[in-house]
Amino acid sequence: MRQLNEAALLAALMAAAAAAHATGAATCDSGPQSAWQAQEKLAAQLKEKGWEVRRIKVDGGCYEVYATDDKGKRVEEYFHPVSLAPVPKGAKNHKG
């Protein structure tokens, strides 16, 4: 019985760790981080389009951007870190 409880606890901890790593809204097949473009470059490109970037973070191997777009709408969008191309929400292992 104790082994079963330990296995259940381990499974729960692994699931929580995976959930903390990625939301699952999109994932990118992005390769090593040494090949990624700088977040600052993406922010500058979006600023040129009239976006106000509040935050960029890594989620699921993609850049996740929190911003206000050129129409004043709050957006949460994903971009491939190598190509900086938009990644559709729900995309899995997007190659950019």
Per-residue pLDDT of the chain (96 residues; tens, 9 = 90+): 555 455 444 444 444 334 334 456 899 999 999 999 999 999 999 999 999 999 999 999 999 999 999 999 999 999 999 999 999 887 787 777
| pTM recorded for the entire structure | 0.73
What pLDDT, on the 0 to 100 scale, is given for residue 23?
Answer: 55
Please count the other Cβ atoms lying within 10 Å of the Cβ belonging to residue 63: 23
Do residues 95 and 32 lie in contact, with contact meaning Cβ atoms separated by under 8 Å?
A: no
Integer Cα distance of 1 and 77 in angstroms: 46
Strand segments, DSSP code E, in the chain are 52-59, 62-68, 74-79, 86-87
Q: What share of the chain is helix, strand, coil (3-state, %, to 5)?
A: 35, 25, 40
Q: Which domains does the chain have, with CATH numbers?
A: 25-96 (3.10.450)
